[in-house]
Amino acid sequence: MSVNTGAETRIYIGPRLTADLPVDRAAAITQLSGLIYTEVGEVESIGDYGDTINDLTFASLASGRARHLKGLADAGSTELVIGFDAGDAGQLKLVEAFLDRSRYDYPFKVVYVDGETDYFAAKVMSNKKSGITVEGILKRNVTLGINSEIYEDTTP
C-alpha cells in the first residue's frame, strides 16, 4: 500500500444496529462488513476521526515521580461536509438517523481508493445547512458522534 490522496474516498451509512457490536474485533468487522450500506453522495470532506486515550496521572509521594496510565478511549466526533442534494439516498439516510432517538447507533464505512476500509458505529448528532449566500454552494454539515473503536480492514 502506498501514500494516497483523499480523492475517490467514499463514505456509506448502514441500517440502524439493533444490538451493541461484539467485543471481539474480528467478530465486529465480520458483522459490519456483512451489512448493506448506502453511499452518501456529494461528500466534500470527512473530518478527523480515531481514538484518543485519556492520560491519567498518579503522583507517588515515595518516588516523587508522576506515572501515566491509560484511561478512557474516545473516538470523538467527525464532521462531514456535503454538497446539499435533497434527493440523494445517503443524505436522506443521514437525516433519518439524525431524527432517530433510539439508543442504537448506525454503522458507517469509509472506503479509500486502495480498498482499505474503516468501519465504526456512530450517532448523527447534527444536520445543518451552510453556504447560504448569493454565490455560496449550499452544503449540509453533519456531525457523527462515534461510539465504537475504528475497525480498520486492510483486506480489500
Domain boundary assignment for the chain: 10-153
Question: Grid coordinates standing for 62?
Answer: 515515595
Q: Which residue has the cell 474516498?
A: 9
pTM score over 0.85: yes
Q: How far apart are CA 88 and CA 111, in angstroms?
A: 19
Amino acid letter, residue 149? E
Angstrom CA distances, 131 to 70, 126, 136, stand at 41, 16, 5
- Residue partners of 44: CB distance under 8 A and separation at least 6: 81, 82, 83, 139
Q: Which residues of the chain have pLDDT under 50?
A: none
pLDDT digits (tens, 9 = 90+) for 56-77: 999 989 999 999 999 999 999 9
Model pLDDT, residue 142: 98
Q: Which helix (H) or strand (E) holds 95?
A: helix 89-99
CATH class of 10-153: few secondary structures
**Paired residues of 51 in beta bridges:** none
Model pLDDT, residue 1: 58
